[in-house]
Structure 1
């Protein structure tokens, strides 16, 4: 008996930016990007495709699949590091956009682990009150948060949103649990400053802008080890093995991290859902976008064990298990 996903949805900006397009912006080329990241293209927001708008469009698709109306929602949680404004939260804007008048709403910042953290949080609310229905979203417009002169980061990231409507089911299925971790001591390997302080006494030295800064090689080493350890620990706690899992949806960081994760966990290709090649790293949006695509493609069947794992700035990381 547990928290179940009633419906999923996703939304990606219309504009496709290929590696060849980036050659006009920064010193790089298609072969260099593909060989290091596996990314062929990414979606970049334009027009009114703000974080909260992408979130609302993804949310409506999830609500439609779930057969739930917006006024039935009790809570909206948006995992994001690229909110439209610092205040109000993207979740409050989503509430307005979809007309979820009864829901309270807030954002959660756990970087790329934002959706997994939010899903675990939603489970706690629902276990406390089985009548609640919660909208969980992961959404980013990282095109607004990268240095377009830094070829080591601007090639990696893309925009998008994914959503899930969750509720309670009396059958023995749903969200079985998660093991979540963080290590603030390693913050300087992957971070993003806020805009510079308007109080000169509290100005942060070496703040050259509110964009992503990353030590790629160090992040790679920590990400692979952390995610694989989290997965193994969770499965051991659940008394399951990798052979029991039908599908793994990892955070779509880059293909080298995903391939190394598959190697460490001895996973065959058909058990791992990958779409980073077409969308790039969409941070908190990557798992819910992949979840929606896998769901709509029929990759997840009733009673399948679905494993989610993520790693992001903070550092934050973890793994979650769902019986579909």
Structure 2
């Protein structure tokens, strides 16, 4: 097994590195990485950013938003969290859940148990301690390999986690899976002798690798170049993060002082494909002209604001202000 430990705190870099390894490294060579991030919200492959993350607060608090290639729910990570990736050969018909359990979750639980922490696997992809979640893992298959990756909450800022992540009850009908907020805890609270994160990692690795010999590997200049290409094309590209959002139907209605506004949107690949605006506002011009203005643009607040800049909105919505219309869509 090759073991890679990176000093980068950029989650998008590590997701790019995973894809690079799956594309370029020998198919029969298992690879493990342990890494950390700056404060970050990680979307699952099939999720809607606006539904899972308080985007305004994330921006305000400097939280990075990324999308991973695996499914599952949105998670929050920070320097008090460790991320563990293992990439193994994949064979057709392989049981993905069993592979993830044996290759990643099982060894994590075993290492924690050796440290006196009563961890156990529960549900489809969680590791619990005393009934509270400390880890979740997911996996995806590419290029004849399976990548399993998971988080490990050691001394994470759980208050920030609660502020950034959300489960909306907005009227969004989607094919995407919605995250289920779980009660979480930090492993540090269960340590007989609490220690700094890096000291914990040293001890954790001793137990993790006690039964599996490894060879250390450091990315070289060529590796970084190729990882950088993937980063800019995909995981570090804001447009890709939005466009990976699955197709869905959106409807919301709000009554303002200027009347009721109802917005219906059809969205595919992160773009608005059709728009319908209804309500009892006192508009004077054909509403279809406004609807066309809001089609074929990214489903992002700024994209909508840009489309409406210089547009004579009062002709179409009467006393409804631009900010009110935007708040009906991005809330």
Larger radius of gyration: 2
Structure ranking higher in helix proportion: 1
How would you bin the TM-score normalised by the shorter chain? under 0.3
TM-score (norm 1): 0.26
